[in-house]
Amino acid sequence: MTPGKQKRPQATEEDQDETTSSEPKFKVPRKSPKKENEVDNNEDILHEIQETRTRLKEKEETVRKLRLVKMYRTKWEMQGLDTVTDQWLQACQEALADLREKVREIRARETGEEELTLKLLMDNLGIDTKLLKLDEAEDCFTT
- Per-domain residue ranges of the chain: 37-79, 81-143
Kindly calculate the radius of gyration of the chain based on its CA atoms and give it in whole angstroms. Answer: 49
pLDDT score, position 116? 84
**pLDDT at position 6 over 60:** no
- pLDDT (tens digit, 9 = 90+) per residue, 122-142? 998 999 888 888 888 888 888
Strands (E) across 16-142 are located at 134-135, 140-141
**pLDDT at position 67 over 60:** yes
For residue 135, the SS3 value is: strand
The arithmetic mean of pLDDT across residues 9-32, rounded, is: 56
Contacts of 139 (CB under 8 A, 6+ apart): 117, 118, 119
pLDDT score, position 47? 92
- pLDDT (tens digit, 9 = 90+) per residue, 90-104? 999 999 999 999 998
Is 141:133 a contact under the CB 8 Å cutoff?
A: yes
